[in-house]
Every structure is written in structure tokens, then in C-alpha cells.
Amino acid sequence: MKARNYRRPEGMTYTRNEYIHGPPPSRITKYSAGVYRDDYTHELL
């Protein structure tokens, strides 16, 4: 992803369909990793 997708547009923005490729992805992404289980030795409250 290029940095220009996150900048504020200067002047008039392009509204033609050939220029619109969709919004950039969210900056906050939720990642799931590891094995989910219930028998941990420690618990965080």
C-alpha cells in the first residue's frame, strides 16, 4: 500500500470509476495466532 492512500486529497478528488480501486485496508488489524485453550496455569484479570 502506498502512503498516498492515507494522505488528505489536495484539490478535487477523482470520482470516475476507472480511478476508484477501493479504500485502503484498515490500519488496525486483528490477528489471531496460537492455540486457544482453557487450561492455562495463569489467569489475567
pTM: 0.20
Residue 38 CA to residue 23 CA, distance in Å, equals 38
Cell numbers that stand for 41 in this block: 496455569
Distances (CA, A) of 40 to 7, 28, 32, 34, 35: 44, 28, 18, 13, 11
Q: Which residue has the cell 500500500?
A: 1
Residue 45 binned pLDDT confidence (cut-offs 50, 70, 90): confident
Q: pLDDT tens digits, residue range 14-36?
A: 666 666 677 766 677 666 667 77
Residue 42 binned pLDDT confidence (cut-offs 50, 70, 90): confident
Judge whether residue 4 has pLDDT over 70. no
36 vs 42, residue with greater confidence: 42
Phi, psi of 5 (to 5 degrees): -70, -20
